[in-house]
Amino acid sequence: MSAAEPRATFDRRQLLRTGGLTLSLGAIIAACGEDRAGGTDPGRVGEAPSVTPLPEGTVDDIVLLRTAQSLEHSAIDAYAAARGLDVLSAHQDAIAQRFVDDHTGHSVALGGFITDAGGEEFACANPWVTRRVITPIFDAIDDSDDPLRDVLNVAHALESLAAASYQSLVGSLTVPDLRMKIMQIGADENRHAAALAIAITGAPDGYVSPLLLGETAPEEEPEFPALWAVPSTFGMVSAVELVVGAPNEEGQRFSIDLQTPAANTFVYADQSC
Amino acid sequence: MTHTAEGDAATSVSSTRRGLLGASLAGAALSLVAGRATSASTGERVNAADLELLLFAQSLELAARDLYAAAITAGTDDPLFGFLADQHEAYAQGIASFIGEPANARDDAVYDELEASFTAFDRTSVATAGYDLESAAVATHTELLALLENADGAKVIASMLAMEARHCVVLADMSGRGDDLNVLLVNTADPILPEELS
């Protein structure tokens, strides 16, 4: 700056001082303001389009029934994938067809319950279950060292999941008549699971968990979950463990816990096939 | 139930239950009990009608327990029958803990009607009788779900029903009918219900 130039009105210190004063006054004015309008959304930068909020996910009887119907179709799709692997004997394939027929009948019945309740049926597989459960399972079976073992275990796991799911829905449904109808189907799924357990484990070893007969559990955890027609005294709604596929480099097989329906698996009113 | 004799059993039970449940003294007692039975999970009070249903389910479980025990006493000492007796004892106690009342009243009409089929001295006959009993229990508990208003009571019944359906499959296999998919998978039994409820 030369001597000829006019002296600057503010030096840096003054600028900071003035800025601080302005901010302080702004805060005081803001605190004292009334009837201030404006959104409560977080601040936005730039020209991004406004966000459309997701609809509220109300869980009512219709949503629960639609979810149950979707699980029936998930099972039907899984059986189609399993039978497509061409590892089942003719006898086993006939039993699989019988289970598919039962699940198809369950879906039709559920569709009727849904429409009677004023809802719209959901006659297709549960999207979350397909993406997070069925697809990964069959991806793991692709390079299995024993695809037949895996297919039978998958069938048992899905039937057990269905059985547990219906039982869990009893406490959520608000209409007693629907609880009854749901458990009519739930009893069928329990029978499917029990029949598969005996087929896989053999009779009589596959009848009842040895723990229920007063025997002690084996010291070493089995590589595949042991299966029994009657695994517990009361029906369980806990996760169903499934192990499939070939061991990886570390000797570990693909393992997944199948969970009964929850917020991420419910088929809400705004979802369609 | 599938057989004529068992259909008669249901009729017999109906008349017995009617007599029991029709007694005004019993009704008054049930009302008193209902006043203090409260669901532990939701705090929802168990009303008198629900309590009556749950006590009935409990009496049926005790009859089932005693029928398997009778088979063992008669000489058909398969560990599975002892196990099934324990299962039904557990169900009766499960209901007892839910309603806060002891499990000590067996349904004598059901027991008396079916006792002969459980004391047949051979495993296959007892398994067949057990299959019919478990099938009827599943049908009965399914029916009760439509009548019970208390959601927690319904959950207790559903958790019993689920395993009784599995008992049917085991007993079908034990009785030599494991290859018959209809016997394994389909329940054609009629529920056993007091006449007032059927």
Q: Which of A92, A100, A208, A209 to probe by mutation at the B interface, max B CB count within 10 Å?
A: A208
B151-174 vs B123-147: helix axis angle to the nearest 10?
160
Task: Name which residue leads in pLDDT, B135 or A12.
Answer: B135
Question: How many contacts (CB atoms, under 8 Å) link A and B?
Answer: 120
Q: Does B39 touch chain A (CB under 8 A)?
A: no
Distance (Å) from the C-alpha of residue A242 to the closest C-alpha of chain B? 20
Taking CB atoms and an 8 Å limit, are B170 and A229 in contact across chains? yes
A113-144 burial string, b = 16+ CB within 10 Å, else e?
bbeeeebebbbbbbebbbeebbeebbebbeeb
In sign, the C-alpha dihedral spanning A134, A140, A146, A149 is negative
What is the pLDDT, as a whole number, of residue A52? 80
User: With pLDDT > 70 as the criterion, what percentage of chain A qualifies?
Assistant: 84
What is the pLDDT, as a whole number, of residue B164? 98
Q: Which residues of A touch B162 (CB under 8 A)?
A: 163, 167, 183, 186-187, 190, 234-235
Averaged pLDDT of chain A: 89
Report the residue of chain A nearest B174, measured CA to CA.
Answer: A204
The token pair at A19 is 């800025």
What is the pLDDT, as a whole number, of residue B197? 62
> Is B153:B98 a contact under the CB 8 Å cutoff?
yes
The token pair at A63 is 């949503």
Residue-wise DSSP of B115-126 = HHHH-SSSHHHH
The token pair at B33 is 């009990």
What is the pLDDT, as a whole number, of residue B4? 31
> Closest Cα partner for A67 from A121, A22, A109?
A121
Tens of pLDDT along B171-185? 999 999 999 999 999
What is the pTM (predicted TM-score) of this model? Answer: 0.81
Distance between CA A168 and CA A173 in Å, rounded? 9
Q: What is the mean pLDDT of residues B114-130?
A: 95
Distance between CA B17 and CA A34 in Å, rounded? 73
The token pair at A9 is 């009105």
**ipTM score here?**
0.81
At residue A21, does pLDDT exceed 60?
Answer: no
Distance between CA A188 and CA B190 in Å, rounded? 16
In sign, the C-alpha dihedral spanning A39, A43, A48, A51 is negative
Tens of pLDDT along A43-72? 666 777 778 877 778 999 999 999 999 999
Tens of pLDDT along B26-58? 333 344 344 445 555 556 689 999 999 999 999
Task: Please tell me the total number of residues recorded for chain B in this structure.
Answer: 198
Taking CB atoms and an 8 Å limit, are B79 and A213 in contact across chains? yes
Q: How far is CA B193 from CA A188, B10, B57, B133, in A?
A: 21, 7, 9, 13
SS3 A208: strand
Distance (Å) from the C-alpha of residue B142 to the closest C-alpha of chain A? 5
B123-147 vs B79-99: helix axis angle to the nearest 10?
20
Nearest residue, CB atoms, A179 vs list B154, B166, B184: B154
Lowest mean pLDDT among A27-31, A54-58, A83-87: A27-31
Distance between CA A35 and CA B122 in Å, rounded? 87
Q: In the 3-class helix/strand/coil scheme, how is A93-149 assigned residue by residue?
A: HHHHHHHHHHHHHHHHHHHHHHHHCCCCCCCCCCHHHHHHHHHHHHHHHCCCCCHHH
Tens of pLDDT along A164-202? 999 999 999 999 999 999 999 999 999 999 999 999 999
What is the pLDDT, as a whole number, of residue A205? 95
Distance between CA A155 and CA A159 in Å, rounded? 6
What is the pLDDT, as a whole number, of residue B45? 80
Please state the φ and ψ torsions of residue A257, each to the nearest 5 degrees.
-100, 120
Taking CB atoms and an 8 Å limit, are B165 and A180 in contact across chains? no
